Amino acid sequence: MEHVSPAVQDYAKAIYALQARAGGEAVSTNDLAERLDVSAASASGMVRKLDDLGLATHERYRGVELTDAGEKVALEVLRHHRLLELYLAESLDVPWDRVHDEAEVLEHVLSEDLEDLIAAKLGNPTRDPHGDPIPTRDGRIDETPTASLQELEAGDTGVFVRVSDADPEMLRYLGERGIAPGDALEVIDKQPFDGPVFVRFGDDVHALGGTLARAMRVEVAR
């Protein structure tokens, strides 16, 4: 990725994340601008640059999507980011609500040799501290189907497998209650109008607000 600027890497990663959330469909430049906290004009300009580089395609009224080359860039940045998050958490004891911001900076300067050393040191892991899959060295990723906790109904059971790392306060809230990826759960009750979801983890029942429940991903038991 030596020839790809950090800004281009960030856009490729953001488009990948939005496409994954949209089931692989093209995404709007407005959604991209919102995710990266930039103006729509700035996002449009960078999308044109990615198009010129052969990393994305953009059609008016349809949106932007990554090419195969763009997806390769995005997955390499994600591999750097998620390996760094896990290394910071496991080897340096950095709290899981802080590793995201640190990895955002370091992901652009991590060499391939150091990437390999970190992966080997960690035992070639497949998940980061937040449960997100780590792409393999050759650009494959295990995007197991999940549902947001907010989508579940009373009586549903499953395993909490991942959570968005974008909001440190959410991560601290879960950490203070001992809730982490890998925990089995059962939905006890769900209030209407985006009200809290009452969820049993082990012996304890927690009331989780709609925003947090949407950020939590669950492998639902069938």
DSSP symbol at 134: P
Other residues' Cβ atoms within 10 Å of the Cβ of residue 41: 10
Other residues' Cβ atoms within 10 Å of the Cβ of residue 172: 14
Which pLDDT score is estimated for 79? 97
pLDDT at residue 1 greater than cutoff 70: no
Distance CA 8, CA 73 (A): 9
Q: What global pTM score does this model have? A: 0.88
- The length of the chain is 222
Other residues' Cβ atoms within 10 Å of the Cβ of residue 136: 14
Distance CA 122, CA 83 (A): 9
52-92 pLDDT, tens digit per residue, is 999 999 988 789 999 999 999 999 999 999 999 999 999 99
Task: Select the CATH number that applies to the domain covering 147-220 from these four: 3.40.1050.10, 2.30.30.90, 3.40.190.10, 3.40.50.300.
Answer: 2.30.30.90
The residue ranges of every structural domain in the chain are 6-66, 147-220
Which pLDDT score is estimated for 45? 95
pLDDT at residue 154 greater than cutoff 80: yes
pLDDT at residue 146 greater than cutoff 80: yes
4-25 pLDDT, tens digit per residue, is 899 999 999 999 999 988 888 9
User: Which tokens sit at 34?
Assistant: 């919102």
Domain 6-66 has CATH 1.10.150.120: no
Residue range 108-135: mean pLDDT, rounded: 95
Which pLDDT score is estimated for 194? 87
DSSP symbol at 132: P
Greatest extent of the chain over all pairs of C-alpha atoms, in Å:
55
Residues pairing with 59 in the sheet? 63
